[in-house]
Structure 1
Amino acid sequence: MTLTFAAALASAGIEPADALVIRHAYVREHDDGTVGIHGDSSETEILAYTRVQSANTRTFPANPPGTWIVFLPEGGDRARLWSVLTNRGEVAHDGERRTFELEPTELMADLRGRLVIGWRSPRTWRINATTAAGYPVMEIADAEPVRFPGFDALTLDYPQLQAVIREHRYAAWRTALSSVIGIYLITDTRDGRHYVGKADGAETILQRWAAYATNGHGGNVELRNLTPSTFRLSVLRVFDPSTPTREIDAVESHYKHALDSRRHGLNRN
């Protein structure tokens, strides 16, 4: 049984009827003089290029859907996933071209640059996702490992935390986080409130953070009624697993006082 793009769409929670699929072509300059993209184009250049579309509704839909799944060309009949974008709507129209406000999303983030589908009509550069759903998956390449930045430089938003816990490319991060206990910080970026937490005893920072990735609160009463999507996690201090609990407790208390997370934050004690 052939694996199709429909499986990737379903896994990402994308409804095909609500998505547009684009396969860019590598053209440095179009016949009308507009600049295209090429194999060395930056992420910013590709996004800027995608934002501008023809005003001709026979070329591009008059009311394009809210989700755009963008691929880059690979040979004549293959397409490699670049990104999934949210279309916030048209922001400019000069009679020939329309410009859209597009925002990158985390949808299919684990498949960016890895997923390759067969593109059945090389001359067609955009199709409805309902059609693309039937296209075969040709390849899912191994994820390129992401270098661990070190504890002092480690900052994760909530979607990245979930990726660190589950994706193979973050294996080095999991190894590092599983080797230490310590004090960490959760900031609710909506209002700036802090929660100072600790991983001690037999529980490493990885184990503690995996609980947050699973349910958003890790069993902490202070966090249960909050939406974790705006959480940002960082490490304040790490310890060897043999460090006495009283020493870790003292450092945790210091950070709660320094950050005033009891009176003006999310710590209750």
Structure 2
Amino acid sequence: MNEDLLDLLKASGVDLHAQQVTLMRHKDKRYPLVKYIGTRALTLYQAMQRRTMPVGSLLIAFHGNRPGHALLLGIWRVEGVVPAGEAIRQGLLEGSFEPLTEDWGGYYHDLCELDLLAHLRLRLEIEWTGRELAWRRVLRPPKAARTRGATPNPCEQVDGEFHTRVGRGYAITAQVESAIPFPGLAGASLVMAELRMALRDATWQQELASVTGIYLITDERGGQHYVGSASGAQGLLQRWTNYATTGHGGNRMLADVLATGPGRELDLRFTLLETLPASTPRREVIQRESYWKVALGSRTFGLNMN
């Protein structure tokens, strides 16, 4: 395994001599960025910048998950750049969770998310060396020569940018087996973006397929609940896969909620409320489902119609 981010990029075909690479470490407490991983909303969050990034360059985004470290969110390529006001007037930021007006100075970057290192999203953690406030850094090829007696420094600030020399200061500190580790059935509670990643994991697939039980869907923006049940050969795996694919799983009231705006399915949280023996008759499963609907008021105040 590569021990440094820069070695990993080189092994993945990235040439810093031919292509600029910008690193960003996001730590904005206003927005739960992990909730939007793999979505256009996260792309738009990074599209607006005070300084331009060259067309054809790469943006590698990280989440500041703990002090001095950063967790990979994804990699994007810059396809084009336009002034921010023009982008807003053209409606290019539709679906963004960050409110911006036409007088916002800066630039809109047309970003294309790449599959490069996609298998390491939320799995790859690096050491974020130097000043933590330097959240945006541009990687540069090494200089041909260094002044005798100069002290090596992983970051140099140039015109507000922090330029980092190749091979310094981005040690890989963790590369976990799963982006969404399985916490046990008692701890199964995932937002939509997490659910979609978890469903690609063999452990999650196996465990959810074995579950007969009751689940809760919470609209974290609107505050409403939906209670459902799962039984049969594929159990909870089949039901939650349907939601991950369609967003609403065939529920009419939930579909109406999602129709209120793009990306609304990202506000949904899926929680396993109760597990039942696989041999439980369907009528008893329905009885437990009805109990939870009453307990949580999901018929009166939520998204259950029956």
TM superposition score normalised by structure 1: 0.54
Cα offsets for 1:101-124 (capped at 9, x unmatched): xxxxx9876433569xxx993459
- Kindly indicate whether the alpha-carbon contact (under 8 Å) linking 1:182 and 1:205 is maintained by their aligned counterparts in 2: yes
Deviation at 1:84, TM superposition (A): 4.3
Q: Which runs of 5+ in 1 are unaligned?
A: 6-15, 25-45, 49-60, 72-79, 89-105, 127-141
1:219 aligns with 2:250: yes
Deviation at 1:148, TM superposition (A): 1.6
Match of 2:88 in 1: none
Deviation at 1:156, TM superposition (A): 0.2
**Aligned with residue 277 of structure 2, among 217, 221, 240:** 240
Amino acid at match of 1:181: T
The 1:144–1:218 alpha-carbon spacing in structure 2 relative to 1, beyond 3 Å, is same
Deviation at 1:62, TM superposition (A): 5.9
Paired residues for 1:95-244 under 5 Å: 110-112=119-121, 121-122=141-142, 144-145=177-178, 147-166=181-200, 170-225=201-256, 226=258, 227-244=264-281
- Kindly indicate whether the alpha-carbon contact (under 8 Å) linking 1:178 and 1:207 is maintained by their aligned counterparts in 2: yes
Paired residues for 1:75-86 under 5 Å: 82-84=72-74
Number of residues paired by the alignment?
Answer: 178
The 1:159–1:178 alpha-carbon spacing in structure 2 relative to 1, beyond 3 Å, is same
Q: Which runs of 5+ in 2 are unaligned?
A: 1-10, 28-48, 63-69, 76-95, 99-112, 126-138, 144-154, 158-174, 259-263
Cα offsets for 1:58-99 (capped at 9, x unmatched): xxx96245x94148xxxxxxxx9844499x7xxxxxxxxxxx
Distance 1:207 1:247 in 2: 20
Distance 1:190 1:70 in 2: 25
1:267 aligns with 2:275: no
Distance 1:216 1:148 in 2: 22
Cα offsets for 1:160-188 (capped at 9, x unmatched): 1110112xxx3212111111111000000
Amino acid at match of 1:177: L
Distance 1:248 1:125 in 2: 62
Match of 2:22 in 1: 22
Match of 1:29 in 2: none
Distance 2:71 2:269 in 1: 27
The 1:221–1:84 alpha-carbon spacing in structure 2 relative to 1, beyond 3 Å, is same
The 1:83–1:208 alpha-carbon spacing in structure 2 relative to 1, beyond 3 Å, is closer
The 1:207–1:81 alpha-carbon spacing in structure 2 relative to 1, beyond 3 Å, is same
The 1:244–1:266 alpha-carbon spacing in structure 2 relative to 1, beyond 3 Å, is same
Match of 2:51 in 1: 63
- Kindly indicate whether the alpha-carbon contact (under 8 Å) linking 2:211 and 2:275 is maintained by their aligned counterparts in 1: yes
Distance 2:267 2:278 in 1: 30
Match of 1:249 in 2: 286
Deviation at 1:247, TM superposition (A): 1.0
The 1:203–1:221 alpha-carbon spacing in structure 2 relative to 1, beyond 3 Å, is farther
Amino acid at match of 1:21: V
The 1:266–1:195 alpha-carbon spacing in structure 2 relative to 1, beyond 3 Å, is same
**Tell me, what secondary structure is at the counterpart of 2:51?**
coil
Distance 1:247 1:231 in 2: 27
Distance 1:189 1:64 in 2: 34
**Tell me, what secondary structure is at the counterpart of 1:232?**
strand
**Tell me, what secondary structure is at the counterpart of 2:199?**
helix
Cα offsets for 1:104-145 (capped at 9, x unmatched): xx9876433569xxx99345999xxxxxxxxxxxxxxx9613
Identity %: 41
Deviation at 1:3, TM superposition (A): 7.5
Deviation at 1:22, TM superposition (A): 2.4
**Tell me, what secondary structure is at the counterpart of 1:69?**
strand
TM superposition score normalised by structure 2: 0.48
**Tell me, what secondary structure is at the counterpart of 2:280?**
coil
Amino acid at match of 2:227: V
Distance 2:217 2:52 in 1: 38
Distance 1:62 1:221 in 2: 42
